[in-house]
Structures are given as structure tokens and as C-alpha cells.
Amino acid sequence: MIKVMVIDDSALVRNAFKKILTGAKDIQLIATAANPVDAFNDFKKVGLPDVFILDIEMPKMDGLTFLKQINEQRPTPAIICSSLVSSGSKAAIDALKMGAVGLMQKPTIQLGSYFNEYRDEFINLIHVASKSKINYNMQMRKEDIKNHTANMKASNKIVAIGASTGGVQAIENIVKHLRPNHPAIVITQHIPTGFSKTFSQRLNNTVSSSEILEAKDGDKVLPGRILIAPGNLHMQVQKVEFDYVISLKDFPKVNSHKPSINVLFSSMAKEVKDRGVGIILTGMGDDGATKLKAMRDAGAKTYAQSEESCMVYGMPKEALRIGAAKESLSLHQIVNLINELK
């Protein structure tokens, strides 16, 4: 039985969750609280849940402060349900960095119909969260990162990375340790509309070795540059004469996602071939696995994140199962791999 606690200052939201979770066979709503301070008192009665559903803006204590405090004591998966999700807010990105498993939009009107419509999505996300490994404030050890040669010549390789649940943490840890003039990198992260821009700007402001951008149609794929797929468009890599450029496509979801990792990897297999390097990171489901296999068949080197370093070992596990990935690597091994590409 998955034990869930809802912390939200809206009584309407708390009651909506009571309704949609009633009847769920393997989920038990153990308590609701109007704010984190009251929730701490509830813990004395019911204990800690397996999963929190958490608002960000609340009286007495905000959701991020609570998430930081609880994860310093006992890391616990949290699903953020907030009106801030629609705006691509920095606070929601911070929550993902701190180990939040997912983001759900909280509407300001018609709450009942919204929660009924997305009941199955909430329940599925609770199941994903309950199986997640939260690594709060993930950090790589400096001694695990190999020293790279100063002024190393830029590689002509293009690295394509796909990630989902837990990917915000993993990607930030990777890009913080890349050498200057590193190979060109393109990333598809499953992320809501609006957040890809906030995420890329945040990384670009904190990482000095890379130019990190939300991808635009026609952007050149260049060494030292990292391009992140927009949250509402599929991203492809296309060869135009002697250059590789980004092509954004607005067609339906693939593998239930938009952007889809399979779309990116498929274009890499077709256009980049043996100059490509494919890496699939943490995430639920199988998006990216089949087209990572296509990349490998086209001559690319392909890898999957190791189970012990994943928040959710779904996509990497599937990639290894079907022979799409050459081998499994920890995050610091992925950094060393990229830094050593020639």
C-alpha cells in the first residue's frame, strides 16, 4: 500500500484529492494538511508517507523550504501540484532539482472537473514516485572526474541525451563538469511547456564552460553549445550542407511525450550516424530505447545511465534489455566519456 499525504492550503484541492484517491486499490491517503507546519504535527500521529503531493505557495512555510527540510531528514518522493507549473517558474525548477518527481498544474477554476479528467495521470505519477530513489542535493566527487587536457581540440562528435523523471538533477550534474570546448550536445528532457526555457537559462547562468540554450529552429549544433528541446515541440538534428542544425516539429506526441526522445534519436541515426553518441538517462517508461538502438545500428556509440545513479531505472533498463545501449555508466563516467571524446 502506497501511503500519500497532501499538503495544500486550498481545502478544495485537498478534498479533490480525497475523492480521486478513494477507491484506488493500492493507495492510502493517510492525511491532508493546509501547510507544512501542520503537516509536521500530523507526522506524530500517522508517520511519514511514501509520497507527498505538495503545493509551493503556502502560509507558515513554503513548499520548497519544507521539501529541503524533509529531504535532509528522510528523502521522500514529492509531486508538485501548483499553479506556478503553468508559468515555468524558477521555484518549480528548483523543486525538480531538489528531487521532486513530477509537476502537475493546479488550475484556478473548475477544480473538480480537472482532477477527475487527470485522475489516471495523478495515480500513475504516484506509482512512479513511490518507486523513485531520491538523491537530495546530488553531488559528484571531484576525485571521480578525470582531468582533461587544457585547450583540447573540439571533437566532431554530437552527443544526444534523453531524460525524463530525475533528469533535471542528472543533466545539471553532468553539464557542471564538462570541459570547455566540449562536443556539441543536444538534449530532450521530458518537461512541461515553459520550463525548458527556465531550465536552460538557469543552467546557462551557472555553467561557464558551455553556451546552454532552449533550442530554436535553425540553431547550429556546435562544440561548447548545449541545446535543450522546447517543452512543447519535437526536436530533430538535420544536416544542411556542412553543418548540423536543429529542426523543431509540431506534430502529435510520440511514446506519449512531446518532445519525444525517440524523435531526437531517430534523427541522429539518420543524419549523424557514426558521428553520434547517444545517452539515455533516468526516467519511467521506454521512450528513446528503440531509436537508441537505431543509433547504435547506424554506427553511433550508445550508453545508458546506471541503475544505482538513476532516480527511476525505467528507460535505461529498457535500452539495455533490447541491446540499444553499449554499456551502463554512472553520472561521473558519463562526464568523463563526453570530456574525452575526440
pLDDT of residue 103: 86
How far, CA to CA in Å, does 317 sit from each of 20, 202, 253? Answer: 31, 29, 22
* Residue in this structure with the C-alpha cell 532552449, named with its chain if needed: 214
Set 148, 234, 287, 306: catalytic member = 287
Q: Specify the fold of 2-130.
A: Rossmann fold (3.40.50)
Q: Kindly tell me if the per-residue pLDDT of 93 is higher than 90.
A: no
Model pLDDT for residues 13-30, shown as the tens digit of each residue: 999 899 889 888 899 999
Region of poorest pLDDT, from 47-61, 116-130, 241-255, 271-285: 116-130
Report residue 151's pLDDT band, with 50, 70 and 90 as the boundaries.
low
Q: Which fold has domain 142-339?
A: Rossmann fold (3.40.50)
Residue-wise pLDDT tens digits, 208-219: 889 999 999 999
Rg (alpha carbons) of the chain, rounded to whole number: 20
Given 89, 130, 164, 306, the catalytic residue? 164
pTM given for the model: 0.91
Same fold flag, 2-130 and 142-339: yes
Domain ranges of the chain: 2-130, 142-339
Would you call 164 a catalytic residue per the annotation?
A: yes
Q: What is the mean pLDDT of the chain?
A: 91
Query: Is-catalytic flag, 155?
Result: no
Task: Give me the catalytic one of 177, 182, 190, 234.
Answer: 190
190 catalytic? Reply is: yes
